[in-house]
Amino acid sequence: MTEKEFAEIMKQYSEPLYWQIRRMVNSHDDANDLLQNTFMKAWTNADNFRNDSKISTWLYRIAVNETLDFLRKQKRTLLATSIDEVNALANHISADKYFDGDEAQAKLQAAIATLPPTQRNVFNMKYFSDMKYSDMSEILGTSEGALKASYHLAVQKITKFFTKED
């Protein structure tokens, strides 16, 4: 792969990868760093890309793995266990100068933060990126049936979160 080809790939996938990462880490600076790490790893391993999957699937897999590694290293938890932690996360999201959403968006992000990691990833990929279950299956290494179940459970938990808020 030439540098010019890779530059085009970066141009095409920077924004969707950024938002996938951002939804996982909820921080603009961390998301930018992880996006750069994703593209550096992709460039370094471009010769290993076998063309047996789509380039987007390969990039998402790298981005998700980089993000999960980052979260493990930072000893952050993706599961908010108390209302105080959820409220703190919502305040953090709303205070972020790059967050341009409204109150409903902030509540949705707070609800998503309460999900276990797998459900959170699946929900973000399906709801925000409208990703196909077959693509998610390749990225996450899980069956489509398990992904559909995770998405369904995530939707139920988010609905319950909003119902409790009212």
Q: Encoding tokens for residue 133? A: 């279950």
Q: Answer yes or no: pTM beyond 0.85.
A: no
Question: CA separation (Å) from 73 to 17, 18, 69, 111?
Answer: 21, 20, 6, 24
Estimate to the nearest angstrom the gap between the alpha carbon of 91 and the chain centroid. Answer: 20
Question: CA separation (Å) from 53 to 25, 60, 136, 138?
Answer: 26, 11, 12, 8
Mean pLDDT of the region 30-40: 95
Helix axes 133-140, 144-165, angle to 10 degrees: 100
pLDDT digit string, tens, across residues 101-146: 567 777 888 888 888 878 888 898 888 888 889 888 888 888 999 9
Cβ 9 vs Cβ 55: under 8 Å: yes
Mean pLDDT of the region 47-66: 86
pLDDT, mean over the chain: 81
